[in-house]
Amino acid sequence: MLGNYFYHQIIRKTVIAFGTLFNDIHVQHDDGAGNVISDIKVPIAYGPRQKFLARITQQAELNKATQITLPRMSFEITNISYDSTRKAGITQTFKAVDSNTNKLKRVFMPVPYNIGFELSLLTKINDDALQVVEQILPFFQPSFSITINLIDSIGEKRDVPITLTNVTFQDDYEGDFSTRRALIYTFQFVAKTYLYGPIADNPEGLIKKVIVDQYASVDTVNARREMRYTATPTATKDYNSDGAIDSDDNDLIVPGDDFGFSETTEFFDDGKGKKVGNPYLNSLKFTAKVESHGKEKKVIVFKKKRRKGHQKKNGHQQKFTYVTVDKFSSKKTVKSKSTTTKKDATKKIVKTSASKVKKTSKPKTPKKKD
């Protein structure tokens, strides 16, 4: 099981996203009149702070335009630990579409891990350090969330909160008392990210049919089923190039295609028989009663633009109506009584009158005698 190769670069993406948060911090110097005489962008690099301290110690003058100057920042990973508070089901999966192959994939739920980061700020002047500190701390209350595309192939994006846990200060001296080499501020962060396992092909494929059954009671074991609603996807183009869009094209639908739905409603008079509508039953009738009106729990929508000083908060309560369905029934069609046509009635009357007429014989004429 552990021999299957996969690499989603999730930890690497988390490290890059963390460093990007602090790559646009500036330090300004002004004269006595308040005019800005210099604007320095504080550089940041991945690596331990001991490496930069060693380079600074070997450099006699920090004001020279050399490779290592102050102020500067560095960061590194300090630990990776499992977070049991965000644990999901180990056998739970979800389906996603691979953007490269356009096929349906099956992915297990991610495993929550916390990645510890240490951000170090090295400055020569304390005012430079305070400028950087005030540009960082207000954004962490105590966390700041960033969106990371953890898996590119299926477009799995998640918000990763980065929490500031501790800030420490250290003032190092090298040589005599008048020689100050470095002021060090250390920030401790925790990034709550997720790690994904291998992505497998989904053996079930595309969902071909959805069935919803409605029962006369909440006890679905003993209650009689009243109605069934079925929806199946239908193709909207000729997949097999046979010149017609038919049921054979429905089996060739793949995820990401545009398709329609074929709807069918079935009504069950009793536990045995059923009536099928195409798509609905005109003879179906049900009675319902409105119980009450209400509102759902309020949902807070909060929008904030980073580094723009803009934030907006809205609330929404969805209205709903509680309806009780009393009875399902089907309308009975009344058969019209059979009537005879006018022609048939005439024949019948004529026949009856003819039977009542008595037969009369002609009078016989007497024969003459010679």
pLDDT for 338: 47
| pLDDT tens digits, one per residue of 9-23 | 999 999 999 999 999
Tell me the average pLDDT across 286-305: 79
pLDDT for 164: 94
Tell me the average pLDDT across 70-99: 86
* CATH code of 29's domain: 3.30.2000.40
Structure tokens at 345: 């009635």
Report if residue 341 sits inside a domain. no
Query: Where does the pLDDT of residue 122 fall: very low under 50, low under 70, confident under 90, or very high at 90 and above?
Result: confident
Are 21 and 120 within one domain? yes
Quick one: which of 110, 132, 138, 107 has its CA closest to 120?
132
Report if residue 335 sits inside a domain. no
Are 185 and 309 within one domain? no
Distance from chain centroid for Cα 219: 31
Are 308 and 290 within one domain? yes
Are 167 and 18 within one domain? yes
Q: For 46-55, 116-125, 361-370, which range has the lowest pLDDT when averaged over its residues?
A: 361-370
Contact 125/185 with Cβ under 8 angstroms?
no
Kindly report whether the peptide bond that precedes residue 142 is cis, defined as omega within 30 degrees of 0. yes
Are 153 and 15 within one domain? yes
- Residue 20 carries which DSSP code? H
Q: Is residue 93 scored above 90 in pLDDT?
A: no
Structure tokens at 362: 């002609």
Q: Is residue 296 scored above 50 in pLDDT?
A: yes
Are 28 and 154 within one domain? yes
The residue type of 266 is E
Tell me the average pLDDT across 214-233: 72
Are 274 and 306 within one domain? no
Query: Where does the pLDDT of residue 187 fall: very low under 50, low under 70, confident under 90, or very high at 90 and above?
Result: very high
**177 against 316, higher pLDDT:** 316
Are 185 and 264 within one domain? no
**59 against 37, higher pLDDT:** 37
- Mean pLDDT across the chain: 75
Q: Is residue 203 scored above 70 in pLDDT?
A: no
Q: What total of structural domains would you count in the chain? A: 3
> Mean pLDDT: which of 53-62, 239-248, 281-290 is highest?
239-248
Are 116 and 233 within one domain? no
pLDDT for 271: 52
Tell me the average pLDDT across 104-118: 89
Q: Which domain does 70 fall in, by range?
A: 10-86+111-191
Structure tokens at 103: 């096929």
Contact 232/208 with Cβ under 8 angstroms?
yes
Q: Is residue 258 scored above 80 in pLDDT?
A: no
From residue 229, alpha-carbon distances to 16, 81, 204, 281 in Å are 49, 48, 22, 11
Are 127 and 186 within one domain? yes
The length of the chain in residues reads: 370
pLDDT for 285: 59
